[in-house]
Amino acid sequence: MAQMTMIEAIKDAMRVELKRDPNVVIFGEDVGHVGGVFRATEGLQAEFGEHRVFDTPLAESAIGGLAVGLGIQGFRPIAEIQFVGFIFEALDQMFVQAARMRYRSGGRYNAPIVFRTPFGGGVKAAELHTDSLEGLAIQTPGIKVVVPSNPYDAKGLLISAIRDNDPVFFMEHLNLYRAFREEVPEGEYTVPIGKAKVVREGKDVTIIAYGLMVHTALKAAAELEKNGVQAEVIDLRTLSPLDIDTIVESIKKTNRAIVVQEAQKSAGAAAEIIAQINENAILHLEAPVLRCAGPDTVYPFVQIEDVWLPTPARIVKTVNQVLEF
C-alpha cells in the first residue's frame, strides 16, 4: 500500500495496464515526453516507449478519430482531451463514432477506448477548462461516464475502464487531483463501473453526489449532524449506467433525498436521477427530491466561481427544504 494523490493513482492505473496489456496505448496533447499538463502520464513514455505513449498534433477531433481507428485494429486506446471544454471539437468521434461503433456494426467492431478528461471548478482556471459537461455524455447512448472522487476509486475505476470493451468517458476533477492522499493498493485491482457507494451512513435524508460534490456533501453532512440530522451520502462514481438500486435502497431508509451537482441546474445528471427516483421509489418519498446545482448560466468568471458552485451551506439549505416539506 502507498499513499497516493488522485493524479498519482490515475498514473499508476495506466502504468499497471500498459505493463499488463501490450495493446494499451496512450496519446494526446503533451502526454508523451513531458507527461501531460498535470503530469498524469509522467514517466510513462520513458518506461514504455514512444510507440505506447505519444504526443499528437493539437487537434481533438483527430485524437478521437485516431482512437476509433486504433480500436478497430485491436488496440486499447487511452485518449486524453487536455481540458473538458475542448471535447466539443471531438464530440463526433466520442459520442457518435465511438459510442455507436458496436451498434452500427452489429457487434462486428467495438470501441474499447477511454477518453480521459480533466474538468471541474474551484481552481481559478481559464475559460472552458472547468465546465461540467457530463450531462451531454449521459444522454448519449453507447458511452459510459465515470467520475471518481478519490484516489482509490480513481485507480480501480480507470483499470476497469481500460479493460471495458466499450467506450468510457473518464472525467477527472481538477480540484481533486492533489487535494489529499489516501492508501492505494499496489498493482492491479478494479472498482466496478456502474456501482455507486454509500460513503456516509444516515437515516434522515439521502444526499446523492459525484466528483468534488461528494466532499462538499460530506462537509454539509457534518454541519447537519450538529443539528441532529443524519444524512446518508452516496458517491455515484458512475453516472452512466446509473446505479439506481443503491439510490432506491437508501431512499427506502431515509424517505428524503437531494441531488448535488456542480453543473448548471437544467437537464443534467440530477434531472435524470430524480426522474429515475420517481419511477422507482415514489411511494417511499415524504418530500420531492430537490437539486442543489449551479444556476443556468455559462460557467462563471473565476472571480465568483466559489459562490456559483454549490457550497456546504447551500446543500444544508436544500436538505432543510426537503426535511421541512
What is the contact surface with another protein in residues (CB under 8 A)? 25, 51, 56-57, 59, 61-62, 64-75, 92-93, 96-97, 102-110, 141-142, 164-166, 194, 241-242, 244-245, 276
Instruction: Say if residue 241 is preceded by a cis peptide, omega within 30 of 0.
Output: yes
What are the Cα distances from residue 122, in Å, to 30, 206, 234? Answer: 24, 25, 22
Pick 66 or 221: Cβ nearer another protein: 66
276: cell is: 429515475
Least separation in angstroms between residue 86's CB and another protein is: 14
Instruction: Spot the catalytic one: 51, 129, 215, 284.
Output: 129
Least separation in angstroms between residue 157's CB and another protein is: 15
Across 165-273, where does the E strand assignment appear?
Answer: 168-173, 182-184, 197-200, 205-209, 231-235, 238-240, 257-264
Least separation in angstroms between residue 50's CB and another protein is: 10
Least separation in angstroms between residue 307's CB and another protein is: 36
State the residue for C-alpha cell 473518464: 170
State the residue for C-alpha cell 471548478: 121
Rounded to a whole number of angstroms, the CA Rg of the chain reads 19
State the residue for C-alpha cell 431515509: 254
The rounded distance, in Å, linking the Cα atoms of 144 and 168 is: 5
Asked about 129 being catalytic, the answer comes back as: yes
Pick 47 or 245: Cβ nearer another protein: 245
Pick 107 or 295: Cβ nearer another protein: 107
Pick 27 or 177: Cβ nearer another protein: 27
The rounded distance, in Å, linking the Cα atoms of 314 and 275 is: 22
Catalytic residues: 129
